[in-house]
A and B are shown apart, each in its own frame.
Chain A
Amino acid sequence: MATIAILGIVVPLAVALVLLLVIAVGAGALGSLLGLGGGLVLVPAIVVLFGIDIHFAIAASLVSVIATSSGAATSRAEPGYVNLRLAMFLETATAAGGLAGALVAVTVLAARSDVLELAFVAVVGVAAVYMFVGRERDIRRGVPAHPLAVRLGLVGEIPRPFAGGNERYGVIHPWSGLGVSGLAGVASGLFGIGGGLIKVPAMNALMNVPMRVATATSTLMIGVTAAAGALVYLIVGDVGLLVAAPTALGTLAGSRWGARARDRIPVRQLKPLFAAVIVAAAVSLLAQALGVLP
């Protein structure tokens, strides 16, 4: 019977897979509730608990990001808010970024897992700060849409919850949005995250896209972004079948539950919990990278 050591305790492989599945369900649910994807929890958990090289953890996380993104389409909660044209416009940059990030991870940083781990800790730090200081910004009414946004048909409408009818929003700064999306793609390929942490605030605050539209559009986009990175990891053989399978299935189940529960759960109150979880995961990863943990 195959066994594996989890924090020094030897258990059957089947037990490890069930634990991985449970962690992925939790990461998918929290990520979906907060619109931030589960990679920030998954990558450190896989590396620290199971002692797996971070490249395999990143690959598994990218596969789970695709599961989250595609699975969101099976939920009836968000699709009406997706701005498909905006997603496809920005995907030109995120796909290129995802490819670049993954190539750097499997070439320049192929033997530098410690560097990747330390950089990942920094990304988690930024995410934790965003959890506390990030604010939803109302769309600026009366601001004319950028000519390129008009030409590309990026302008959309969102239902007004109390007044009734729809409210139109004009997308601005499309080129800056494209640049930021490229950076989000690089972060996705490098660290196995969806990149919503970067794209959602950029679309909302920079491009004047309503937060709910930004979140739903980002959720659709992260599938293509992660696919670019995941393809690289698949081809170079860094996708471990028994890491990726339970991670993808668990994240899929968790994210679908999170999407359905979003309107019933006080999401704002969950932010400190999620911040605490990812900080604890990052501290563990830091300890591992510095050799404090086995």
Chain B
Amino acid sequence: MTGVPPASAVGGEAPTDLASGVRSVLVGGIVVSAVLLIVGVLLWASVGFDDATLTAPVGPVAPGSLDAWAADLVYGGLVILVATPIARVAYATRTFARLGDRTYAAVTAMVLALLVLTVILGYLR
């Protein structure tokens, strides 16, 4: 294959520290969210799921109660879970910028901008 530059790493030319950094961000996010979800659901179960429904929307159930604590923990776990891949993109943007790779800093910044736009459009809906 003429004209093809040598790949510095298996599965693409991403720098090794980027790959391991991405992995660390994802592992950190998944562990924190799993802990919050497990503790939240178990706490909720311990008070008997009074007045709870499967489709209870996000946010506190009854402010100040143990259910509310549990609901907040579960909500926090879900938010962190959703934020984990977004944090991965932000980490990649920072790393590419630090490495002086302006092309991929721009590509990942574009993905980040789309996710911010998602939040804006979601609220405007």
Contacts and interface: CB of A to CB of B under 8 A. Distances in A.
Measured as residues with beta carbon below 8 angstroms from the partner, the interface class of chain B is 35 or more
Given A235-B119, A252-B30, A82 B58 contact: no
Interface string B12-51: 1110001100110011011001100110110011001111
Interface string A89-133: 101100110110011001100000000000000000000000000
Given A2-B50, A82-B19, A158-B10, A67 B55 contact: no
A234 B51 contact: no
Contacts of A246: 41
Interface string A206-244: 000000010011000001101110111011111111111
Nearest to B58: A239
B30 A243 contact: no
Interface stretch (A31-39, A144-152, A272-280): A144-152
Measured as residues with beta carbon below 8 angstroms from the partner, the interface class of chain A is 35 or more
A165 B44 CA distance: 53
A2 B49 contact: yes
A17 B26 CA distance: 26
A228 to B, nearest CB: 5
B100 interface: no
A80 interface: yes
Contacts, number: 245
B12 A82 contact: yes
A284 interface: no
B82 A234 contact: yes
A84 B99 CA distance: 15
A81 interface: yes
Chain A contact residues: helix, strand, loop or mixed: helix
A99 to B, nearest CB: 5
B48 A1 contact: yes
Contact of A154 (B1, B12, B81, B125): B12
Interface string A74-93: 10000111111110110110
A165 to B, nearest CB: 11
B33 to A, nearest CB: 8
Interface string B89-122: 1001000000000011001101100110111011
Contacts of B86: 224, 227
A88 B111 contact: yes
B39 to A, nearest CB: 11
A150 to B, nearest CB: 6
A69 interface: yes
A73 B30 contact: yes
B13 A156 contact: yes
Contacts of A40: none
B52 A242 contact: yes
Given A92-B107, A170-B4, A224-B111, A67 B11 contact: no
A232 B79 CA distance: 12
B3 A223 contact: no
Contacts of B30: 67, 70-71, 73-74, 252
A232 B118 contact: yes
B13 A155 contact: yes
8 contacts: A13-B49, A50-B54, A69-B85, A71-B30, A144-B4, A145-B1, A217-B11, A231-B119
Q: Which 7 interchain pairs have the tightest Cβ spacing?
A: A235-B122, A223-B85, A84-B14, A83-B12, A73-B26, A240-B55, A237-B57
